[in-house]
Structure 1
Amino acid sequence: MNEEEAREAYFELRVIEEQMKQLQHQIAQLESQISEFETALSSLKELEGKDEEEAFVPVSSGIYAKARISDTKKFIVSIGAGVAVEKSPDETAKIIEKQLAEMRQYREQMIKGLQLLGARAEEIEKKVAEEQG
């Protein structure tokens, strides 16, 4: 391996390393979103069949206000672009479950991408080691 090829291999490894860091960060963010949606689904199921429920509503990070949920048969669900619609608990649960499935599928795709990048990095490192050895 000549000097130019070694430089290219080193550069490619740095690019792969950066891509892997970005993917790891995105996976961590997605894991956080998945956790939030799982909590929402769990909370929704806890409200099922109850007429009224006391809850803590987040005001800011770590700050909550005590509130009473007076109607557990209807939920307001954002559908994007600043639009929200009223949905039943079952409809709301289905929306959350669909979003969870999509996020989990996307997470798996990102993990596969991360594995491919890792394999490529190993391949380059092995080639460089063989050429230098």
Structure 2
Amino acid sequence: MKWTLLMASLILMAGLSTASAQSDLDALRWKNRILVLFAPSADDPAFVRQSRTLLADREALAERELVVLGVAGDRVETLYGDPKARHEAAALRRHFGQAAASPFEAILIGKDGGVKWRRDAPFDIGGLNAVIDAMPMRRALR
């Protein structure tokens, strides 16, 4: 009986954490696209390189209504944008299937909340812009 209660509690907590990550992201739905950069630490070379590349063209980020979140280790930092919701690293990692020690990965979430693009290596902002510019909601504004 105790084992069953323990397992039920663990499953419920995992479900709440995943739901928490989704509700945090839902706060930005229909307002922003979200780019989440995952890395094992803030000094991961791919994470540092990608952050610098993105922040070098803030105008492109603003024009495409992007919020950029960095999930490095057990911390979440807003690298660009002003999200209204709190984000928890563990919940985001679970939601996207990322272990704390997982190597660099970037995930683009569209305004509708769906995953639109994933990369496991740093990329140039032109490639990201092309993906976003091809999205129906983005094309409708042009």
TM-score (norm 1): 0.28
Q: Which has the higher helix share?
A: 1
TM-score (norm 2): 0.27
